[in-house]
Amino acid sequence: MSKTRKEEIDYEGIEERIKIKELTVEVDTPAGIVSFLQKRNGIYNFDFKNRYSVTDLVNCQRKSYYKQLGIKEEELLSDVSGMWITVRGNLLHEMTHAYKWRELDMEYKVPLDDGREATVAGRLDMYDWKTKTIIDLKTTKSVRWQIKNGYIPKLEHILQVQCYYTMFSDVIPVENLNLVYADMQDIVTYRVKKNDLSEWIKTRIRDIENSLVRKSAPNGETSGLCQFCKYQSRCFSDGNGVEHKPLSTPKNTEG
């Protein structure tokens, strides 16, 4: 074969690649993907100061106060049944896969008195776009027995769903709020009244922030959930909080 023979050049292929290159530009990996990978590896880059979850707001303010101070959580003096509660919850939460719109994140900004902003982070379990319904799932035990004895629906769960309505309604249409209680045998659903909790959210956060400025723990908002709290020893010693023998103990930092 002659060396002088010209190699065929795929001019059409080159032109096609040039066109594709002109249509695209490389950018940073989406923040959500980066955040997901970091969390899977135990890396959290955001500052927890002035950052609250919806759960923080509807539960005990003193617990949120301790978290804002960066106080390390204690170890619960629990047994295998406590681990089963976690496993049971994980199993039942597989139900969230019933909807394509699930685990939707939102950050809601709240202005503070000193000009700073606090952030409230919320995550929807499920959203039914056909009926415009926010659905929050609560896994528990003995659902029927708790209903019969007036333990559910719980006020903090109602407030939580209403907080989601307040946070998400400017972004997605919301017509209904559903609160679902499930155990291994029963599922019971409640329709919750829509209520704008903007001012309530601001008040809850400002109360905690004012306690931080005063360096004085707010009174504990005691309930049956205290037995699962990981600040019981600290709360007991600060007074005006848990009165039972603490069921958690500071972690051993030796070794």
Amino acid at 112: L
CATH of residue 137's domain is 3.90.320.10
Domain range spanning residue 144? 51-67+78-216
Residue 156 lies in a domain: yes
Residue 43 lies in a domain: no
- Whether 181 contacts 138, CB under 8 Å: yes
- Whether 134 contacts 54, CB under 8 Å: no
- Whether 230 contacts 82, CB under 8 Å: no
Q: Report the number of distinct structural domains present in the chain.
A: 1
50, exposed or middle or buried, with CB in 10 Å at 0-12, 13-18, 19+? middle
Residue 29 lies in a domain: no
Residues 183-196: pLDDT tens digits? Answer: 889 999 999 999 99
Amino acid at 178: N
Nearest to 217 by CA among 105, 68, 112: 68
Residue 6 lies in a domain: no
Residue 132 lies in a domain: yes
Residue 189 lies in a domain: yes
**Is residue 182 helix, strand or coil?**
strand
Tens-digit pLDDT profile for the chain (255 aa)?
444 444 566 656 777 777 777 776 778 778 777 766 666 665 555 556 789 999 999 999 999 999 999 999 999 886 544 555 666 667 667 888 889 998 899 999 999 888 889 999 999 999 999 999 999 999 888 999 999 999 999 999 999 999 999 999 999 999 999 999 998 899 999 999 999 999 999 999 999 999 999 999 999 999 988 998 999 999 999 999 999 999 999 987 554
CA contacts within 13 A on the Cβ side of 35: 6
pTM beyond 0.85 = no
